[in-house]
């Protein structure tokens, strides 16, 4: 009897899981667009341009998923989210993807019903200070005040750091990056603390005179950032994960938005043929996507390097070196899971 009940429960679980797996992809197709939760405004990652078009490294993830699903990178609806409401928006189904410079941690992975698809930016918590303050290390902020965003990993990071280093710093928690910048410029805090990429964006576009400010070289945490989806929706997880993997794989193989069609027609590389849909039926395995799904991603959005450089790289206002976000063949942490 117990064995029969256990078997019945397993069947019920499998049926429920199978139904959930297709839910988001089906819903996205019915809507005709991907609803993507992004930062309310973070230069280089998600910010509307002068024409109202969203741009950024995280925005490109949303565009790439739309290109994979629809063959059209423009089929995205953007929803600006704060640190405090981002998880609720994804959990409730308000958005299909959370692409909002969000860190993967143990507790987030196992307790809030969400899954990170993959890391699209390796970061660490840093500190932005006025150059005139002559602050060289985080310990120099002892007795001072630091502003940071509420609902982020940074609050626990600084508490852990203070306990370990026996240093006391007053923390002011704020709702949005705009408010954080205003508080910092008004002198309410001696430093602003966030992901170093966030601070680079603030320094480049938010403080008026970037040369008057410096980001300390010290990092007090690991912040692997990436897009998140709801748990128990493996098919949608596959679509988002492998879309990002396709962008990284394309960089590894030298496939770009400019040469993708030529590579499709002329390359004899088995890896290139699999990526671009000439060999195998990888798209059909992910909920019946077109086998040109990755080709569409690369042609319309670009490979990972193209996205990185135009949004946050040395040619952008943020001027960030690749660092840990370089390919594994160039001393970084980025590499694609094999397409085979």
CA distances in angstroms from 20 to 15, 94, 113, 178, 236, listed in the order given: 9, 16, 13, 37, 10
Give yes or no on whether 20-122+225-329 and 125-221 have one common fold.
yes
Closest CA to 278 of 264, 259, 258, 289: 264
Q: 257: which residues sit within 8 A by CB, 6+ positions away?
A: 298, 299, 300, 301, 302, 303, 306
Residue carrying the six token digits 């660490």: 124
How many Å apart are CA 332 and CA 335, to the nearest integer? 9
What count of Cα atoms within 13 Å lies in the side-chain half-sphere of residue 302? 13
Strand pairing report for 170-174 and 34-39: unpaired
Q: What is the pLDDT of residue 163?
A: 96
How many Å apart are CA 336 and CA 109, to the nearest integer? 21
Kindly compute the dihedral angle of the four CA atoms of residues 225, 230, 231, 237, in this order, to the nearest 10 degrees. Answer: -70
Q: CATH: 3.40.190.10, 3.40.309.10, 3.40.50.300, 3.30.465.10. Which one for 125-221?
A: 3.40.190.10
pTM: 0.87
Q: What is the pLDDT of residue 108?
A: 94
Domains of the chain, by residue range, sit at 20-122+225-329, 125-221
CATH 3.40.50.1820 is right for the domain spanning 20-122+225-329: no
CA distances in angstroms from 294 to 194, 256, 261, 336, listed in the order given: 33, 11, 12, 13
Largest CA distance in the chain: 76
Q: What is the pLDDT of residue 15?
A: 37
Q: What is the pLDDT of residue 175?
A: 86
Closest CA to 90 of 173, 15, 150, 34: 34
How many Å apart are CA 318 and CA 21, to the nearest integer? 38
Q: 75: which residues sit within 8 A by CB, 6+ positions away?
A: 32, 33, 34, 66, 69
Q: 294: which residues sit within 8 A by CB, 6+ positions away?
A: 68, 242, 243, 246, 249, 250, 275, 276, 277, 282, 283
How many Å apart are CA 276 and CA 21, to the nearest integer? 25
CA distances in angstroms from 258 to 30, 261, 262, 313, listed in the order given: 32, 8, 9, 19
Residue carrying the six token digits 């990429």: 197
Q: Please, what are the averages of pLDDT over each run of 10 residues along the chain (340 residues)?
A: 35 38 86 96 92 96 98 98 93 97 94 96 96 95 95 91 96 91 94 93 88 94 96 96 98 98 97 96 94 98 98 92 96 96
Q: What is the pLDDT of residue 22?
A: 47
């Amino acid at each position: 009897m117990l064995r029969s009940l256990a078997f019945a429960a397993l069947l019920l679980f499998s049926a429920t899981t199978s139904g959930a797996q297709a839910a988001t992809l089906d819903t996205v197709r019915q809507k005709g667009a991907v609803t993507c939760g992004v930062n309310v405004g973070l230069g280089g990652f998600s910010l509307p341009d002068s024409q109202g078009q969203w741009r950024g490294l995280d925005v490109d993830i949303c565009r790439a998923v739309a290109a994979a699903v629809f063959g059209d990178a423009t089929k995205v609806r953007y929803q600006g989210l704060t640190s405090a409401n981002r998880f609720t928006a994804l959990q409730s189904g308000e958005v299909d993807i959370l692409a909002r410079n969000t860190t993967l941690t143990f507790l987030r992975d196992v307790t809030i019903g969400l899954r990170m698809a993959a890391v699209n930016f390796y970061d660490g918590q840093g500190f932005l200070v006025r150059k005139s303050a002559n602050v060289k290390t985080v310990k120099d902020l002892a007795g001072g005040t630091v502003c940071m965003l509420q609902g982020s990993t940074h609050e626990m990071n600084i508490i852990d750091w203070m306990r370990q280093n026996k240093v006391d710093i007053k923390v002011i928690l704020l709702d949005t990056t705009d408010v954080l910048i205003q508080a910092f410029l008004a002198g309410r805090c001696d430093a602003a603390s966030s992901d170093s990429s966030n601070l680079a964006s603030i320094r480049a576009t938010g403080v008026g005179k970037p040369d008057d400010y410096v980001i300390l070289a010290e990092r007090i945490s690991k912040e692997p950032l990436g897009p998140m989806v709801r748990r128990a929706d493996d098919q949608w997880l596959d679509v988002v994960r492998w879309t990002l993997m396709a962008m990284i794989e394309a960089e590894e193989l030298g496939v770009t938005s400019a040469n993708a069609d030529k590579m499709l027609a002329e390359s004899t590389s088995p890896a290139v043929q699999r990526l671009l849909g000439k060999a195998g039926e990888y798209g059909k395995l992910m909920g019946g996507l077109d086998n040109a799904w990755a080709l569409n991603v690369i042609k319309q959005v670009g490979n990972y390097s193209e996205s990185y450089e135009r949004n946050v790289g040395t040619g952008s206002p943020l001027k960030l070196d690749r660092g840990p976000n370089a390919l594994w063949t160039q001393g970084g942490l980025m590499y694609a899971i094999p397409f085979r």
